[in-house]
Amino acid sequence: MAHAATAHADSGHVDEHHWTSTGLNSRKIAIWGFIGSECLFFASLISTYLVYKGKSLVGPLPHTESQCMLDGKMQTCEAIFEIPLVTFGTAVLLFSSFFVVLALYGAQKGDRKMLLTWLSATVLCGLFFVGMQVYEFYHFYHKGLGYSTNLFGSTFYTLTGFHGSHVTLGVIWLSTMLYLAVRGKLTPDKSLNLEMAALYWHFVDVVWIVIFPVVYLMR
């Protein structure tokens, strides 16, 4: 906000309309509080995944061959994960965090071209990641891993599904910002709107930084 409350309590001259005790914008504190709350949400999902790791009664399993029900008969199924694809998706998502920083810089400087370029890149990266996840789920399903097939399937789909829905919400939020930017409404004094979306986007990325090694790499 343009009118950051910098007035001091003792000066007797307080901008009453824009007064905040900390001098920080309230919406920014709110998004941090929300992120704190979300940490516990993902912590519960990740903990459950870890508690049930290796407890599946039947296959398919993430890293090893196993006996599983496929095409109506029990057979040996290959390991589910394909690390190269998800590694690429991870990289794309992490780069998008960098891109949104550039977009925010453009918004704050009033550099329209920079804002539009990098915000579009961020949205495209987000879309790519969601697409990768949809492909992955489809692919896993056809390799015999349904939602209720075993504990691995249930915990994996719930955890990564909730992460994916967070990414999707982030894409919708950033697309709204892109729409405002195209209409010329994301002026430097409104850049906090983008900063909020960017903070959320970074958080979603950070959660993936935990999920990727814990779920995909840890055997």
Partner 1 sequence: MATSVLEHKAPAIPHHYPKTGFWSWITTVDHKRIGILYGATAFIFFLIGGIEAVIMRLQLIGPNGKLVDPDTFNALFTMHGTTMIFLGVMPLSAFFFNFFIPLQIGARDVVFPRLNAFSYWVFLLGAIFINVSFLVGAPPDGGWFGYANLTSARMIPSTAAAPAPGLNIDFWVIGLQILGIASIAAALNFFVTIINLRAPGMTLLRMPMFVWMSFIVQILLLLAFPVITVALVFLMMDRNFGTSFFMPDGGGDPVMWQHLFWIFGHPEVYILILPAFGIASEVLPVFSRKPLFGYTAMVFSGVFIAFVGFGVWSHHMFATGMGPFADTFFSLATMVIAIPTGVKIFNWIGTLWGGSLRFTTAMLFAVGMVALFIVGGLSGVMHASPPADLQQTDTYFIVAHFHYVLFGGSIFGLAAGAYYWWPKIFGRLLDEKLGKAHFWLTFIGMNLTFFPMHYLGLHGMPRRVYTYPEGLGFEFLNQVETVGAFVIVLAFLLFIVNIIKTWMGPANAPADPWHGATLEWSIPSPPQEFNFPNLPRVGSSVPQWDAWRAAGGKLPEPVRVSGDDIHMPNPSYWPLMAAIGLTILMSSLMLIRQWDYWYAITLFGTAWLFFSVYRWAFEPTGH
Positions that interact with partner 1 (CB under 8 A): 3, 5-22, 24, 26, 29-30, 33-34, 36-38, 40-41, 44-45, 48, 51-52, 55-57, 147-148, 150-151, 154-155, 158, 176
Record the tokens describing residue 1, joined without a space. Answer: 């906000």
Name the residue nearer to partner 1 (CB basis): 5 or 167.
5
| Nearest approach, Cβ of residue 7 and partner 1 (Å) | 6
Q: Which is nearer to partner 1, 133 or 150 (CB)?
A: 150
Report the b/e string of 6-42 with b at 16+ CB within 10 A: ebeeeeeeeeeeeeeeeeebeeeeebeeebeeeeeeb
- Residue 79 pairs in a beta bridge with none
Distance separating alpha carbons of residues 135 and 37, to the nearest angstrom: 30
Residue with smaller CB distance to partner 1, 15 or 65: 15
What are the C-alpha distances in Å from 196 to residues 29, 35, 101, 114, 181?
Answer: 10, 11, 12, 18, 15
- Least Å from the CB of residue 27 to partner 1: 8
Q: At closest approach, how far in Å is the CB of 90 from partner 1? A: 23
**What is the nearest approach in angstroms of partner 1 to the Cβ of residue 132?**
23
Residue among 24 and 83 whose Cβ is closer to partner 1? 24
Q: Which amino acid appears at position 78 of this protein?
A: E
